[in-house]
Amino acid sequence: MNSEEDIRHREDADPTESMVEIEVQHPADAAETIEGLDIVEQVKFIKQLPIRDAAESIAEMDEYDQVELFKNLNRGLGARIVEQMSPDDATALLKGLDEELRLALLSRVPAEDRAELKTLLTFDPDTAGGVMNTEVVILDQELNVDQAIAKIRDEVEDKEIPYYAYLTDQKDRLVGVVSLRDILLARRGAVLKDLVKTQSLITAGYNMDKEEVAHLIARYNLLAVPVVDFGDRLLGVVTVDDVIDIIHEEASEDMQAMVGAGPDETTDSPWLYSVRMRLPWLIINVLFSSVSAWVVHLFEGNIAEMAVLAVLMPLVANQAGNTGQQALAVMIRQMAMERFDRKRAWLAVLRELRIGFLNGTIISVLVFAVAYAITGKADLASVLGLALGVDMLLGAVAGASIPLILKEMGRDPAQASSIFLTTITDSMGFFILLGLAGIFLLA
């Protein structure tokens, strides 16, 4: 909480001012407080909160902490909290629980909510349907502004919402969207359908990948995007605050998957979970490293004859690995931020090839010069410089291509990409260095 002082809550407001100040903790702050308690205290804390506050605070907790808390809460209270949560938060929570507890809680919420939650639970959590909120204001497009305001007023009690209201036709199909601002500023008596913007309506199919939905909202600066089924009927909305979470998650997934850590790991995950997520990739990495070791093994005779080669090996491998990781990082971020365009993507590989060639040449010449100055051996310095330059170029091309190749194979472009990369730069680096040495230094 280092920067607490930067966040200027107005607790220091002049008491003679008219603004009423009550000490109400924001749900996000309450969630942090709760997470800092042990489980017994957590349960006690939740019990003394009004149900609505408890629901809002729990919605802001990390998934792992939510699950632990619900395991320890009595089911009647748990069900009442679930009932109070917004349907998307409740669904996310229920998905994290084991089946027995989930069904027990569901059986205790009122039938109508239960039906809705059961429907929401059927959507893939990585799609628009899996993250959407079903609390939507739907208005008949023939209503006038005053009727619309009256309808919104009626519904607002149990809906958190909304910046937008959605217009449907007689067949319940989504035909337009109006913002509250449009309604507020319209002349009295105006009919809703006449307020609809002429720009084409942007919607997400319920099975659109949630990262695609995030791209849509980011690209078009939207506050929410409506989610529709195949018949264009409105199912819910994905809002911009959910999108921020999706973007954060996505960035963590990419960075962590790249090196074989669990995509959803945080420093709050149980440490054994992290061990479980990382160990398989470490085993794969050790197997892949064996390839590099095997390459060195092929040239063991050369090394026995000329041990200085072993001194140069890490220089070449590490440098080419770093060069490749620079290309890898830029490519993965680009793929995270923009819609994938195959042609542009391969042009980006070409770009990395140029960068790798120039950087490789410069470093290669520098290292040649320094090695020659130190050892006085032009042939040794040449072999080192050449191996370094070529391996750096290879690293750049590999780093840029690996995420594209993974994508073309239908896999996550980031997953283990750094592991694949260093396998290539290590083994090829050793092969080139020791091979060239065999030809030019030991002949």
Least Cβ distance, residue 264 to its own copies (angstroms): 10
Closest CA to 147 of 216, 106, 114, 195: 195
Stretch that binds its own copies, among 67-75, 98-106, 114-122, 251-259 (CB under 8 A): 251-259
Using CB under 8 A as the binding rule, whether residue 369 contacts its own copies is answered as no
Binds its own copies by CB under 8 A, chosen from 38, 100, 267, 409: 267
Using CB under 8 A as the binding rule, whether residue 147 contacts its own copies is answered as no
Contact 299, 399 (CB under 8 A): no
Closest CA to 393 of 415, 424, 347, 436: 424
Least Cβ distance, residue 106 to its own copies (angstroms): 26
Least Cβ distance, residue 109 to its own copies (angstroms): 24
- For its own copies, the closer CB: 78 or 403: 403
Using CB under 8 A as the binding rule, whether residue 175 contacts its own copies is answered as yes
Binds its own copies by CB under 8 A, chosen from 348, 381, 387, 390: 348
Binds its own copies by CB under 8 A, chosen from 340, 365, 378, 411: 340
Which DSSP helix (H) or strand (E) runs through 237?
strand 234-239
Total residue count of the chain as it appears in this document: 443
Binds its own copies by CB under 8 A, chosen from 37, 67, 190, 223: 223
Stretch that binds its own copies, among 76-84, 87-95, 113-121, 217-225 (CB under 8 A): 217-225
Using CB under 8 A as the binding rule, whether residue 34 contacts its own copies is answered as no
Using CB under 8 A as the binding rule, whether residue 442 contacts its own copies is answered as no
Residues ≥6 apart with Cβ < 8 Å to 382: 368, 440
Using CB under 8 A as the binding rule, whether residue 2 contacts its own copies is answered as yes
- Angle, nearest 10°, between helix axes 27-35 and 63-72? 70
- The site for its own copies, by CB under 8 A, has a size of 146
Using CB under 8 A as the binding rule, whether residue 201 contacts its own copies is answered as yes
Binds its own copies by CB under 8 A, chosen from 39, 104, 282, 405: 282
Q: Which amino acid is at 3?
A: S
Q: Which residues of 176-204 are buried (b: 16+ CB within 10 A; e: fewer)?
A: bbbbbebbeebeeebebbebeeeeebebb
Binds its own copies by CB under 8 A, chosen from 80, 108, 114, 278: 278
Using CB under 8 A as the binding rule, whether residue 300 contacts its own copies is answered as yes
Place of tokens 């330059």: 389
27 half-sphere exposure, CB direction, 13 A CA radius? 14
Using CB under 8 A as the binding rule, whether residue 16 contacts its own copies is answered as no
105 half-sphere exposure, CB direction, 13 A CA radius? 29
- For its own copies, the closer CB: 8 or 74: 8
Using CB under 8 A as the binding rule, whether residue 266 contacts its own copies is answered as yes
- For its own copies, the closer CB: 307 or 409: 307
Contact 417, 406 (CB under 8 A): yes
Q: Which parts of 376-415 interact with its own copies (CB under 8 A)?
A: none
Least Cβ distance, residue 341 to its own copies (angstroms): 6
Give, in order, the Cα–Cα distances in Å from 40 to each of 44, 45, 59.
6, 9, 19
